[in-house]
Structure 1
Amino acid sequence: MLVDFVYEGGRSVVGPLLAHLGASAAVVGLVTGAGEASALALRLVSGPLADRTRRFWSWTIAGYAVTVAAVPLLGLTGVLWAAGALVIAERVGKAVRSPAKDTLLSHATADVGRGRGFAVHEAMDQVGAILGPLAVAGVLAVTDDGYGPALGMLAVPGVFAVFLLLRLRARVPDPAVYETPEAPGTAEARLPWAFWAYAGFTAVTLTGFATFGLLSYHLVEHRLLPAAAVPVVYAAAMTADAVAALASGWLYDRLGSRTVAALPLLSAVVPVLAFGGSTWLAVLGALAWGAGMGIQESTLRAAVAELVPARRRATAYGLFAGVAGLGTFAGGALTGVLYDRSIPVLAVTVAAIQAVALAVLLASRRFRGKRRFRYPVRRR
């Protein structure tokens, strides 16, 4: 929550900040695109390295430290190339920490239910993601000193976040204590087919998932809402994200992987609602989009821990992020191209893709029935 406060606060003004330093639209796109690519691609390296070294706390703390240092420094730089490097560095920090952090969560949430645990994590993320940009906007509104004070203020929650991490590592140096140790020979050299089938489902369903950028474009270009109202819709979508994460996490602990079938259904509904001519239906579509994001960021990740042996989880989370990133990129490109051609064709195509995703999910459940890594919990 605290680090989301920091980096979402910073990301909310990255475009205007780079433009203030002389960047063109192409440079802004290049810098932010390179950052997102780094955040996903480098996990393919950091995940296996975290598994190999078993230093999950070190990777997690290092990644968070890079982020909470890079964002406040953005407010101090007056040079475009340095600001661009810091924007990319913040995303690199996310790549460094994410597989190790998700592995730590997978251990700790074994004691409370992984669906519930990952859901609470996502809901707290969204609290930070809403409060951070609002705090930055507030500081910018009451000061005339540019971006320095607004971004510098973010150092406070950043320092507190690192302090909490160090405190947690001292109290629980090995979070694997929350799980019963695996039997000898459980940690296979290869990831099971159930994981790859599940990753395939994720790639397919995200290929038919529109981006909020396209939703906001439709809202403004069709004059359904003024541009100033779009951030309010986004905040509402993030609220739906948090609620859906908590609800789907609770259901996952009771119903299992059947819960994630809600994601293709929501994804199919989004274009029908969001890309019409009604303001209220478009807002409902944005809320459905936010609910889908909540399932993606919580329950989808929780299920990965059930499919792979503990000693391969960081590797699995790194690979899973890469697959999800490719699906997200393909989804953004596909829905954008189809939107320009025909909105009805877009809606039909997305529905067809989500039907395929449901079929792949069914297949992944069959693989899962053959081999599933669920361990009894060691209660503390």
Structure 2
Amino acid sequence: MWQTIRALPRTVWLIGLISLINDSASELVYPLVPLYLTSVLMAGPRALGLIEGIAEATASLLKWVSGVVVDRTRRSKPWIVVGYGLAALGRPLIAWVTSWPALLAIRFADRVGKGLRTSPRDALLAASVGADRRGLAFGVHRAMDNAGAVIGPLLAAALLASGMPLREVFLWTWVPALVCVALALALREPATPAPAPNVAQIGLGSGGAALPPVFRRYLVIVALFALGNSSNMFLLLRASELGVPQAQIPLLWAAVSFIAMVLSVPLSGLSDRIGRRRLLLMGYGAYALFYLAMGLSNPTGVWLVGWFAFYGIFLAATEGVEKALVADLAPAQLRGTAFGWFNMTTGAMLLPASFVFGLLYEHAGAGPAFAFSAGCALAAGALLWRWLPRTGATAGASGR
């Protein structure tokens, strides 16, 4: 396993390092935005909801657009560089904003950058390795991304504890941002297949008709699962209701990210041997079990920590594997478009998923809300079993 990991191409490690550094800066800023909004800009939750809603919706749409454009231009690197460049420009500017509309503009630019770079980055990562190492490559990327999710909040806490003002914390984000841009400029694109005759005619309004039926069925499965995969903020709210002190909530989530970081490589790599479908089925089942436990029981103390650790295992077993399966099911000439549809679908479903979950939570209680999410996961697993046959694309590189 370790020899195989070390033998991964330079591009895989470079993309992973970029994600680690960028996510460290992003997760350093993200927890501080609500504090800055309320304590410095004197705005409230309504403004925060508007800012994040517009920002995330924009990112979801542009993930699709950038995926289609990559297939038409056969170039990923320019979009990756521009995407990280917008983040480099935007985050330090938060230190100088004096109103929430200005903060909205900066968050909008940051999410535009995310939307422009995500699908091209995934397509480049998939093109850099063969199918027999694809799960491992995406696992390495997710592990390094989760490492940033651990480093960022801890660094933010350390800087604030040292007495550094919020404005200075934002200003210092220009350092990792410029490093990310420099690393993105060092990326090399592998030789890509010539576009199929119909690729040049793919437009932004063409939909996913050019993609194979099995991939479109996979999108339905992903959308159904995503409908039950609401914002993780609800998990933290539930943990608070179950007795976790407010000061320990960030540490609990950092522990989840740490577990996902440690296990992403071995579990995603396992999908290269036992098959993507089998690992996703286990992952969807684990998600349903976790949500049923959180909603229908009242775990506390060590049991609660154990269940959150179990959730970290679910993340490690599914995040990289879902993307590896996208690359397995899509033709090489349409890989950018496929990742665009996948990323847009998962992003766009976050709003209705969170809305439905929140509505159930508020009016019916935690049990029905968490049971709804578990039901979506089980239904998605059933469709995965029925609609994606155990072929070479879903059963691992060996086709077993």
Q: Which runs of 5+ in 1 are unaligned?
A: none
Partner of 1:270: 290
TM-score by length of 2: 0.83
Partner of 1:360: 383
Determine which of 286, 300, 313 is the counterpart of 1:291.
Answer: 313
Matches within 5 A, 1:1-380: 1-19=20-38, 20-110=40-130, 113-144=133-164, 146-168=165-187, 172=188, 174-176=189-191, 181=193, 190-222=210-242, 224-257=243-276, 258-275=278-295, 276-279=297-300, 280-340=302-362, 341-366=364-389, 369=391
Does the C-alpha gap of structure 1 residues 266 and 375 become closer, same or farther in structure 2, counting only changes over 3 Å?
Answer: closer
Q: Shift of residue 103 of structure 1?
A: 0.7
Does the C-alpha gap of structure 1 residues 78 and 107 become closer, same or farther in structure 2, counting only changes over 3 Å?
Answer: same
CA distance in 2, matches of 1:362, 1:187: 31
Q: Which runs of 5+ in 2 are unaligned?
A: 1-19, 203-209
CA distance in 2, matches of 1:291, 1:337: 28
Question: Could you tell me whether the CA contact under 8 Å between 2:131 and 2:397 is conserved in 1?
Answer: no
Q: Shift of residue 105 of structure 1?
A: 0.4
Q: Shift of residue 115 of structure 1?
A: 0.4
CA distance in 2, matches of 1:375, 1:230: 40
Compute the RMSD of aligned alpha carbons.
2.7
CA distance in 1, matches of 2:254, 2:173: 20
Q: Shift of residue 206 of structure 1?
A: 2.1
CA distance in 1, matches of 2:33, 2:358: 23
Partner of 2:7: none
Identical aligned residues as a percent: 29
Does the C-alpha gap of structure 1 residues 244 and 282 become closer, same or farther in structure 2, counting only changes over 3 Å?
Answer: same
Question: Could you tell me whether the CA contact under 8 Å between 2:56 and 2:347 is conserved in 1?
Answer: no
- Aligned-partner residue type, residue 5 of structure 1: S
Does the C-alpha gap of structure 1 residues 361 and 252 become closer, same or farther in structure 2, counting only changes over 3 Å?
Answer: same
- Aligned-partner residue type, residue 22 of structure 2: V
- Aligned-partner residue type, residue 175 of structure 1: P
Q: Shift of residue 268 of structure 1?
A: 0.6
CA distance in 2, matches of 1:164, 1:218: 39
CA distance in 2, matches of 1:18, 1:310: 44
CA distance in 2, matches of 1:197, 1:67: 34
Q: Shift of residue 196 of structure 1?
A: 0.9
- Aligned-partner residue type, residue 66 of structure 1: L
Q: Shift of residue 134 of structure 1?
A: 1.8
Does the C-alpha gap of structure 1 residues 61 and 375 become closer, same or farther in structure 2, counting only changes over 3 Å?
Answer: farther
CA distance in 2, matches of 1:311, 1:218: 44
TM-score by length of 1: 0.88
Does the C-alpha gap of structure 1 residues 350 and 129 become closer, same or farther in structure 2, counting only changes over 3 Å?
Answer: closer
